[in-house]
Amino acid sequence: MHPLALTLLLAPRALNWDVDVDGPLTVAGGLGWIASEVLKETYGPSACSWCSTNGFDLAGRDLRWSDPKAAHQISNVLAFAAGPALVFGADLLAAHHDGDWKSFLVDALLVTEATIAASDLNQIVKFTAARERPYATFLSPAEKLAPDRSRDEHISFYSGHTTFAFAFATSAGTIASMRGYRWAPLVWAIGLPYAFATGYLRVAADYHWMSDVLVGMATGAAIGFAIPFFAHKPIKLVPQGAGLAVGGIF
């Protein structure tokens, strides 16, 4: 085999991306997501439009912990801090193992882009659906009449934590596989348990119905796969005569 061909075969594949497009999209999407969180007590639904439940979700509520607040706190740390750090760490190790740790910087941008896109869609649906959270559904009549009730009680569908985690894990795994990292399975092996644990904890915290979490899983995973796979298909340099040619990988 041509020495140059062997080198290119073993090297991580370059992805199709543009900092002038992907950078601003990620920043704008992130700012929109943050703004929606900061302003949800002002612009979030003041009452539930979807206040009823069903047998499937009621059965799933049996998974809630005896201390739901602990599950809620753990899910916050896992979804937005510990889990992403572990997944990014695995991707960095995979890139470094293949001799190109700088590819991780692009990976991180594209993972963030996909995750933000999934989270922005989630916020739009949550504010529109106005589904009551499980714990709020079972408040006493007196508690439901309290004047200081949070608007956050009315944005249960679908789970934002679960959407974030599945979009993050799936996009990182997809990108690692598209790159051809030999340690791509490590990214999947760390990412998917993190995502599933996050979904479970949202039910355990009594913050989401089971159906909220299942839709979050499906939507987050779909967007986490689709954006890297369709928008950032890898390009590959191949030897051609005395020089190189660029070819797409489909």
Nearest to 92 by CA among 31, 204, 175, 213: 175
**Per-residue pLDDT averaged across 221-242, rounded?**
82
Q: Average of pLDDT values for 204-222?
A: 98
Query: Is pLDDT at 196 greater than 70 in this prediction?
Result: yes
pLDDT of residue 155: 97
Question: What was the pLDDT predicted at 3?
Answer: 47
Which range is least confidently modeled, 131-135, 203-207, 227-231, 232-236?
232-236
Question: Which of 143 and 210 is assigned the larger pLDDT?
Answer: 210
User: What would the two tokens of residue 189 be?
Assistant: 């092996």
As a whole number of angstroms, the distance between CA 137 and CA 57 comes to: 12
Is residue 136 within 8 A of residue 194, CB to CB? The reply is no
Q: Could you give the CA distance from residue 165 to residue 161 in angstroms, rounded to a whole number?
A: 6
Instruction: Flag whether pLDDT at 178 surpasses 70.
Output: yes
Go through the domains of the chain in sequence order and give each one's CATH number. Answer: 3-15+63-248 (1.20.144)
Q: Does residue 219 have a pLDDT over 80?
A: yes
Q: What is the DSSP letter of 131?
A: B
On whether the CB atoms of residues 187 and 172 are closer than 8 A, the answer is: yes
Distances (CA, A) of 48 to 136, 184, 236: 10, 43, 51
Report residue 240's pLDDT band, with 50, 70 and 90 as the boundaries. Answer: low
Distance CA 191, CA 85 (A): 10
Compute the average pLDDT of residues 207-225.
98
pLDDT of residue 149: 86
Write down the pLDDT at residue 234. 84
DSSP string, 27-41: HHHHHHHHHHHHTHH
Give residue 250's pLDDT: 40
Residue 238's pLDDT band, with cuts at 50, 70 and 90, is low
Average pLDDT, rounded, for the chain: 91
Residue 131, beta-bridge partner list:
50
pTM: 0.90
Evaluate if residue 224 carries a pLDDT over 90. yes
Is the pLDDT at 180 greater than 60? The verdict is yes
Joined together, the tokens standing for residue 80 give 């937005």
Burial of 29 (0-12, 13-18, 19+ CB in 10 A): buried
Q: How confident is the model over 49-68, as a mean pLDDT? A: 96
Residues found in the chain: 250
Rounded CA gap, 129 and 94, in Å? 40
The distance of Cα 60 from the centroid of its chain, to the nearest Å, equals 23
DSSP 134-196: HHHHTS-HHHHT-TT--GGGG--SS-HHHHHHHHHHHHHHHHHHHHT-TTHHHHHHHHHHHHH
% of the chain beyond a pLDDT of 70: 90
User: Cα–Cα distance between 118 and 35 in angstroms, integer?
Assistant: 15
Per-residue pLDDT, 24:
97
